[in-house]
Amino acid sequence: VRIETICTGDELLTGLTVDTNSQFFQTRLLEVCGATVRRSTTVGDRREDIIEALVEAAARCDAVLVSGGLGPTADDLTAECAAVAAGVALVEHPAVLAHLRERFARRGVTLAENSRRQALVPAGAEVELNLEGSAPLIIQPQGRCTFFFVPGVPREYRHLVERHVVPRLATLLGHSTVRVLRVLKTTGTSESQLDALLAPLSSAHPRLTFGYRTHPPKNHLKLLAEGETREAALAALALAEQAVRQVVGQAIFGADDDTLASVTLQALRARRQRLALAESCTGGLIAAQLTEVAGASDVLWGGAVTYVEAAKTKWAQVPTALLSAFGAVSRACAEAMATGIRAEAGVDWGLSVTGFAGPTGGTAADPVGTVYLGVAGPGGTQVERLHLHGDRERVRRFAAHAALDLLRRTVEGAAP
Amino acid sequence: VRIETICTGDELLTGLTVDTNSQFFQTRLLEVCGATVRRSTTVGDRREDIIEALVEAAARCDAVLVSGGLGPTADDLTAECAAVAAGVALVEHPAVLAHLRERFARRGVTLAENSRRQALVPAGAEVELNLEGSAPLIIQPQGRCTFFFVPGVPREYRHLVERHVVPRLATLLGHSTVRVLRVLKTTGTSESQLDALLAPLSSAHPRLTFGYRTHPPKNHLKLLAEGETREAALAALALAEQAVRQVVGQAIFGADDDTLASVTLQALRARRQRLALAESCTGGLIAAQLTEVAGASDVLWGGAVTYVEAAKTKWAQVPTALLSAFGAVSRACAEAMATGIRAEAGVDWGLSVTGFAGPTGGTAADPVGTVYLGVAGPGGTQVERLHLHGDRERVRRFAAHAALDLLRRTVEGAAP
């Protein structure tokens, strides 16, 4: 079964936009159907080029996903070209027209003449209504090839691809099984370590496929379960997840939509505990990540970006004598910052980071990339020393991640 | 003149990688040659698919840029397929082999047998050595079509495309002129306002092309100058830039690689002035942007992420009575935070942000999206009220940007 994609749009050929829709489709096609795209073609908003690409693909393929060019304006040519390529007329589809009328009515406006164009589909095509927008998914057979036309707007594209295109391709490919996916997010364990831990599990879980994707400094572990029914697939998934959690343990920080920040906030919230930060080289990155999560204020008291020594003394209660004796990038300073910020804010936990992010700075003993993390909590204070590689951006990002993860593990490990 | 691109690589069809190289080529082709790509094709690492794509493109095009598949491993098939498509042999190119030997010798290793494959090129092809890597640019005529084969590694791709491919295409397209580009970065002025301001300039600057690109909340203004020589083009560019700066004024915050953070730090550094921050809804985003710039510590004293009221009182000296009377999201609080943080840190400038980032919160008078910015400096304190649209992420990002820009304008406008 040969599957291809065609993307249309001048903006994809002039450097204005990078197509990220295709990555979504490719990933889901691989995950759900175990199949890959053979070729991907991009053409501009030009009638002859779109028709040429459609005709060529129809001769080669069993299924083609075509995106873009279904909007209401004059440069939206895809439906028209699809009709020409198939040698059929464009006809107004009553259900799509009703859907458009209803969408416009909901906003209190009448359907404009140009928007009505979005109800035009090649004669003989099937449609699925777009619950996230106007233009429908158009499913059009051309000989042995089935074309799927979807809007290019990412939200609409994803909705229609996930809900209709991928399931239909799964059927076309002969998959009668249902697949469900769960992503477990891990940190501090390499892909090869994960693989070694999980390899012994596969024989006991025949309905599971284990996959990995690296998002440094995180590794995502994908559990794809299949079954005759959704319930059977979910049951297989639950069993496998339990086994995986047993062997991988605390390196798993969350699943699916979790972030390290959301999970850490949730662990603290569940214990009714609060947090304050003292950041030096990460310069606000940890605070920014935590406050990205709505509702962080019930956990996060605040954060001090103590960029100069005077700020460390004033806000994180670091004694001047300690700074003179050990320097700002030191185990002693990280410890003092964590305990100091905890006392300053009067909260349960203090988290600190101090280090050399580069490109200049550092000493022979503590070169660029050296970062000290401090966590002060009800059970005492601990410090970790990291040596990170890479440029300033990478050192800061990895340091912020490692600090949050150290806090998470410490909180989760502490008595509830 | 018809130009196409072909990208090769399984990773581009399985969701592992998004091609961003093409965007670079498309942008430079448009900027330097005024031309666009007619079609872009992506195929996997499969002999028959690569050959098929090459043969089809040769029949249609005047020039084709092919990327990827020039590495040393078994799945690097592009040079081999190019030879098959053209019906010629693969031959070892002496200059490329010497370049490879020298690169390996510089690292103190001898050239491995598989790496030697990278010196193989289709007979009759011309090469340009790759100063950033191993595989050369291969230039191969096939009938009326010229193929340019470049490695897919972004750094190498950009180097070879910029230095060799685009200039040769400019010649092919009949451009005997030299073009130089400068990007002026603006904020607070819409694309249509910029266009209205600049339209009167075009007649006085015939060698200039003005372009726009929106990167909300910034707008980039592109000045593309041409001349018979580089000097002539640069002179035309300088004249035009002067005229543009006169009409657009302070909305231009920087050029080329500048960021709003780097420019703001530089403005303060030039005045030997220092800064402290008090962030509420932006939660550290401003501090993170400023500390992304190496050497920020001579300007940035520190920043307080005052997420709860107690933190505003403790670190930004906001009176409890003021918070009770006006609330944390108010003109009075923004003003008190800016003056308070300035006094707390003992620096020249205090910058504050407080607002409702959403999705919940807000009042009838100050709904979600309301943000107050405060700037306290040697000349006094000012507050601006914004009403921002969009989700939490957007409100925070735009608020951080607007705050930095308010500071920049105020610093630049103050007596030096």
Q: How many CB pairs under 8 A join A and B?
A: 201
pLDDT bracket for residue A73 (50, 70, 90): confident
A61 token code pair: 């393929």
Q: Tokens at residue B394, please?
A: 């957007």
Query: Between chains, do B288 and A292 touch, taking CB under 8 Å as contact?
Result: no
Q: What is the mean pLDDT of residues A315-320?
A: 98
Determine, for residues B41 and A42 on separate chains, whether the beta-carbon distance falls below 8 Å.
Answer: yes
CA-based nearest distance B38→chain A, Å: 6
Q: Tell me the average pLDDT of chain B.
A: 93
- Residue B213 forms contact with A (CB below 8 Å): yes
Return the biggest CA–CA distance within chain B: 85
C-alpha pair distances (Å), A76 with each of A65, B24, B66: 17, 25, 29
Q: Which helix (H) or strand (E) holds B344?
A: helix B331-345
Angstroms from A249 CA to nearest CA on chain B: 27
pLDDT at A72: 86
B396 with A292: Cβ contact below 8 A: yes
How many percent of chain B have pLDDT more than 90?
76
- Classified as helix, coil or strand, B20 is coil
* Cβ–Cβ contact A294 with B under 8 A: yes
Query: CB–CB of B283 and A294 under 8 A?
Result: no
- On whether any CB of chain B is under 8 Å from the CB of A53, the answer is yes
Cβ–Cβ contact B259 with A under 8 A:
no
Our CA-based measurement puts residue B81 at a distance from the nearest CA of chain A, in whole angstroms, of: 16
Q: Smallest Cβ distance to A291: which of B19, B283, B358?
A: B283
Predicted local confidence at residue B229, as pLDDT: 84
- Contact criterion met (CB < 8 Å) for B42 and A40: yes
The DSSP bridge partners found for residue A184 are A221, A255
Cβ of B15 under 8 Å from any chain A Cβ? yes
In this complex, the residue of A49, A307, A314 whose CB is nearest that of residue B291 is A307
Interface test mutation site (partner A, options B291, B313, B348, max chain A beta carbons within 10 A)? B291
Decide if pLDDT at B336 tops 60: yes
Mutate to test the interface with B, among A12, A23, A291 (most CBs of B within 10 A): A291
Query: Which site among B26, B305, B391 would you substitute to test the A interface, given the most A Cβ atoms closer than 10 Å to its Cβ?
Result: B305
Give ipTM to 2 decimals: 0.77
Q: Which residue of A has its CA nearest to B34?
A: A14
CB contact under 8 Å between A284 and B296, yes or no, is: no
A64: β partners: A4, A147
Q: Is the Cβ of A327 closer than 8 Å to some Cβ of chain B?
A: no
Mean pLDDT of B179-208: 89
Distances in whole angstroms, Cα of residue A402 to Cα of each of A349, A382, A390, B122, B402? 16, 14, 15, 49, 31
Whether the CA torsion B84, B89, B94, B98 is positive or negative: it is: positive
Of A14, A296, A302, Cβ closest to residue B304: A302
Q: Which of A23, A311, A392 sits opposite B15 (nearest CB)?
A: A23
Q: Is cis: bond before A367, omega within 30 of 0? A: no
- Best probe of the A interface among B8, B26, B42, B404, by most A CBs < 10 A, is B42
Rounded distance between C-alpha atoms, residue A330 and residue A323, angstroms: 9
Indicate the range of A398-402, B201-205, B281-285 predicted with least confidence: B201-205
Say yes or no to pLDDT of B241 above 60: yes
- Span B77-99, mean pLDDT? 96
Do residue B38 and residue A49 have CB atoms under 8 angstroms apart? yes
B38 interfacial to chain A (CB closer than 8 Å): yes
Residue B208 CB contacts under 8 Å (≥ 6 apart), including other chains = B201, B202, B223, B224, B225, B236, B237, B240
User: Cα distance from A93 to chain B (closest Cα, Å)?
Assistant: 31
Spatial distance between the Cα atoms of A157 and A22, rounded to a whole number of angstroms: 10
Specify the pLDDT at position B265.
98
Q: How far apart (Å, rounded) are the C-alpha atoms in residues A248 and B236?
A: 63
Decide if B215 touches A, using CB distance below 8 A. no
Contact between chains at A18 and B14 (C-beta distance less than 8 A): no
Q: What is the pLDDT of residues A144-184, one digit of tens each?
A: 999 999 999 998 999 999 999 999 999 888 866 777 889 99
B42 and chain A in contact, CB less than 8 A: yes
Q: How far apart are CA A147 and CA A125, in angstroms?
A: 9
Contact with chain A for residue B315, Cβ under 8 A? yes
Mean pLDDT in chain A? 93
pLDDT of residue B415: 58
Chain A residues with CB under 8 Å of B44 CB are: 36, 38
Whether A244 has a pLDDT exceeding 60, the answer reads: yes
Percent of chain A with pLDDT over 70: 99
Q: Does residue A211 carry a pLDDT above 90?
A: no
Q: Distance from A29 to chain B by nearest Cα, in Å?
A: 8
For residue B30, give the nearest of A14, A37, A296 by CB distance.
Answer: A14
Residues from chain B that touch A54, judged by Cβ atoms under 8 A, are none
Predicted pLDDT at A415: 58
Are the beta carbons of B325 and B315 closer than 8 angstroms? no
B384-393: pLDDT as tens digits: 999 998 889 9
Q: How far is CA B235 from CA A222, B133, B145, B198, in A?
A: 57, 34, 36, 19
- Which residue in the set B10, B37, B358 is minimally distant from A13, CB to CB? B37
Residues of chain A contacting residue B18, judged by C-beta atoms under 8 Å apart:
18-20, 23
Q: Is B230 within 8 Å of chain A by CB?
A: no
Residues of B in contact with A371 (CB under 8 A): none
Answer yes or no: do B41 and A36 touch at CB < 8 A. no
Q: Is B155 on the interface with A (CB under 8 A)?
A: no
Is the Cβ of A181 closer than 8 Å to some Cβ of chain B?
Answer: no
Looking at residue A191, its pLDDT comes to 79
Q: Quote the pLDDT of residue B187.
A: 94
Q: Among partner residues B14, B283, B290, which is closest to A36 by beta-carbon distance?
A: B14
Does residue B319 have a cis bond before it (omega within 30 degrees)? no
Q: What is the token pair recorded at B352?
A: 């504050």
- Note the helical H segments in A220-353: 230-248, 260-270, 285-291, 309-316, 320-326, 331-345
Rounded Cα distance between A374 and A343, Å, is: 14
CA B88/CA B174 separation, integer angstroms: 29
| Distance between CA atoms of residues A137 and A121, nearest Å | 10
DSSP one-letter string for B223-270:
EEEEESSHHHHHHHHHHHHHHHHHHHGGGEEEETT--HHHHHHHHHHH
- So what's the pLDDT on residue A124? 95
Share of chain B above pLDDT 70, in %: 99
Contacts of B37 in chain A (CB under 8 A): 13-14
Q: Is the pLDDT of residue B180 over 90?
A: no
Please tell me the distance in Å from B346's CA to the nearest CA on chain A. 10
B20 to chain A: which residues are within 8 Å by CB? 18
Please say whether the beta carbons of A285 and A396 come within 8 A: yes
The pLDDT value given to residue A216: 82
Q: How close, in Å, is residue A44 to chain B by CA atoms? A: 7
Q: Decide if pLDDT at A367 tops 70.
A: yes
Contact A302 B308 (CB under 8 A): yes
Which of A91, A79, A85, A89 lies closest to A143 in space, CA to CA?
A85
Please give the single-letter amino acid code of residue B293. V
Q: What is the spatial distance between Cα A71 and Cα A115, in angstroms, rounded to a whole number?
A: 8
- pLDDT digit string, tens, across residues B131-178: 988 999 999 999 999 999 999 999 899 999 999 999 999 988 886 677
Residue among A49, A281, A303 minimizing CB distance to B284: A303
Q: Which of A111-115, A342-346, B166-170, B353-357 has the lowest mean pLDDT?
A: A111-115
For residue A381, give how far its alpha carbon lies from the nearest alpha carbon of chain B (Å). Answer: 23
